[in-house]
Amino acid sequence: MPSDLNRTTAADPRSVPDLLGDLVQQSSSLVRQEVQLARAEMGEKVSQLGTAAASIGVAGALLLGALIILLQAVVALLVSFGLQAWVAGLIVGVVVALIGYLLLQGALTKMKAANLTPERTVNQVSKDATVAKEAVR
């Protein structure tokens, strides 16, 4: 009965080679659309990353002057409480270094590669694969 493979049916007048050709065409079209979606989503993610990096830079530059003055005031306050200037400077320096480290770690966490994953594209590809598997059955 291999000759029956090329015969048409009442439900679908197309032959098996025509159906396979349509499947290949639709599959390649789907892949192109998924690639376009991934590019668009990655563009959005890169834009978000650039905005976050620029914000960190601008915030750091604007706060630097104010921070220096405030830290000098804290050192002066500690000196007025009877500490030597070098001890007051050391205390303030260590506290500021710890705060800076914590802020830097928070910013780096937001910039990790895992946050740049094109989640919508991954979900859509997964759905498409499921539909394709069901269609083949």
pLDDT single digits (tens) 31-83: 888 888 888 888 888 888 888 899 999 998 888 888 899 999 999 999 999 99
Segment 87-132, tens digit of pLDDT: 999 999 999 999 999 999 988 888 876 667 777 887 888 887 787 7
Q: How far apart are CA 98 and CA 96, in angstroms?
A: 5
Q: For the residues of 19-77, what is the DSSP string, one character each?
A: HHHHHHHHHHHHHHHHHHHHHHHHHHHHHHHHHHHHHHHHHHHHHHHHHHHHHHHHHHH
Segments making up each domain of the chain, as ranges: 29-117
Q: In angstroms, what CA-CA distances link 119 with 17, 30, 102, 104? A: 36, 17, 28, 26
Residue 7's pLDDT band, with cuts at 50, 70 and 90, is low
Token reading at 56: 């960190």
Token reading at 90: 């050391």
Question: pLDDT value at position 1?
Answer: 45
Q: How far apart are CA 60 and CA 54, in angstroms?
A: 10
Question: pLDDT value at position 11?
Answer: 66
Token reading at 70: 């405030």
Q: With CA atoms as reference, report the closest residue to 117 among 30, 49, 31, 52.
A: 49
Question: Which residues fall within 8 angstroms of residue 2, CB to CB, at 6 or more apart?
Answer: none
Average pLDDT of the chain is 83
Q: Is the pTM of this model over 0.75?
A: no
**pLDDT score of 10 more than 60:** no
